Chain A
Amino acid sequence: MCLAIPALVTAVLADDMATVSLGGVVKTVSVALLDEVAVGDYVLLHVGYALHKISEEEAERTLAMMAEGGLLEAELDEIAGDAA
């Protein structure tokens, strides 16, 4: 639950929502906690909300390390499993 992962904004939607892509999974999230967000931004995603913007370079590096450590799969499973 404490994990926050970098995600790439792929579309900005109405009502402070956006679609993001992380490790190939596309997810609709809230960007209401950010002032401005644009397609191509990397954001730190936590429990369905973008918490902060991050630099692209750092995001890629982090994602690669998480993939290597197997951390990403667990988080992606949790996200994919949320068909509530």
Chain B
Amino acid sequence: MKYVEEFRDRALAEKLSAAIRAEADPARSYNFMEFCGGHTHAIFRYGVQDLVPGNVHFVHGPGCPVCILPIRRLDDAIELAERHGVILCSYGDMLRVPGSKRRSLLSVKAQGADVRMVYSTLDALDIARKNPDRQVVFLGIGFETTTPPTALAIRQAADEGLTNFSVFCNHVLTPAAIRHILDAPDIDPEEAVHLDGFLGPSHVSTVIGSRPYEFLSETYRKPVVIAGFEPLDVLQSVLMLIRQVNEGRVEVENQYARVVTREGNTKAQDLVDEIFELRPAFEWRGLGMVARSALAIRPAYAPFDAEARFDLSEKTSREVKSCECPAILRGVKKPKDCKLFGNVCTPDNPMGSCMVSSEGSCAAYWTYRRAETLAEMAKDKAMAEQAA
């Protein structure tokens, strides 16, 4: 490896950290929401919290597609694999998320359902070509980054005339979810999380560009910095946000300019438009129904739509009792506020989605802040007992 470069980068991190300390006004506090789980992961993995002063707080947002898939949709996927006997293809992170009755795609696979982990929609198409006598369903999840690959797979299947391939579409849109979070205090004052700015999604923005986030500065008067996922990216973005707050500026700035433009990848956007249309509303785990926040496959491509092809039953799905994932995904609670954290719920035995994917908040706290979190929980408990 290039050791020289690494040390240079470390030195740069120190420099950025010093700049943040110098510029952050000790008399105020800065609450920045990182929408993306990728940022949450980077913040913990590289100890970014320790490189910023104590009055700079990160509020973890709902940006992990695995975490926000509502249990009912996961139960539908399990039903496709079990009752309809399809070959269900999914990205790996999805397999261990517990659905109703704590059943996961992995546990039904162990019981004989044909669930396969794929790295790419290309692999799912291949499985369909090789198994012409079986129905193959790809579980499409993810934000705007992952949607174009799904769109291409559908178009490819249409071009090839594959009759045994379809997509169970759960693709969701980031700007709608951010809008929903900012509107939440109007709906429920209990939910008011004060936010001074946003670390904007990076890979999502490579596809849709930075323009879709301009409503945040224009309508909601919140500063935004589109931030890359490396620790230096995050630090630099925090510095840019602090400067905006200090100077009273409200803008969309782009720290991740090496890949993100204002327009994004228009070829990918056109393709997504051709294959998908907006759903009027879609349920997000934690956020509930969010208007115009997800995509469905257009009727012209109905043969490739698993929801049109298979008759999915109406079901009553149940969250695991006491799991605080929904509140954590809204940014109003932290993993330490969940009684199950670390005793009943661990990455080996997850009770909720936030503990499964490495981008989930509970998994991040478990991996990088376990001792501190457990100590805080014990302290909170003792205080509550004393008060009682």
Contact = CB atoms under 8 A, between A and B. Distances in A.
20 contacts: A1-B93, A2-B36, A2-B38, A2-B64, A30-B149, A33-B149, A35-B267, A46-B146, A47-B120, A49-B149, A49-B152, A52-B259, A61-B9, A65-B232, A66-B230, A69-B231, A78-B92, A84-B116, A84-B124, A84-B126
Interface string B102-127: 00000000000000111111111011
B357 interface: yes
B207 interface: yes
Interface of B: 1-2, 5-6, 9, 36-38, 45-46, 64-66, 89, 91-93, 116-124, 126-127, 142-143, 145-146, 148-149, 152, 203, 206-207, 229-232, 258-259, 265, 267-268, 271, 357, 359
Q: Which 7 A-B pairs have the closest CB atoms?
A: A48-B120, A82-B119, A58-B258, A84-B123, A52-B206, A1-B91, A49-B149
A34 interface: yes
Contacts of B152: 30, 32-33, 49
Contacts, number: 120
* Most chain B beta-carbon neighbours within 10 Å: one of A34, A44, A79: A44
Contact of A2 (B37, B46, B120): B37
Nearest to B143: A2
A20 B142 CA distance: 24
A47 to B, nearest CB: 5
Given A2-B203, A62-B230, A64-B2, A54 B148 contact: no
A61 B146 CA distance: 24
A22 to B, nearest CB: 13
B230 A48 contact: no
Given A33-B268, A54-B258, A68-B1, A1 B142 contact: yes
Contacts of B146: 1-2, 46-47
Nearest to B261: A52
Given A47-B91, A48-B119, A33 B65 contact: no
Contacts of B265: 33-34, 51-52
A1 B123 CA distance: 15
A64 B231 CA distance: 12
Contacts of B64: 2
A3 interface: yes
Nearest to B118: A84
Nearest to B63: A2
B258 A2 contact: no
Contact of A61 (B5, B89, B207): B5
Nearest to B148: A33
Contacts of A68: 1, 6, 9
Contacts of A47: 91, 119-121, 146, 149
Contacts of B37: 2
A64 B6 CA distance: 7
Contacts of B65: 1-2
A48 B120 CA distance: 5
A83 B357 CA distance: 22
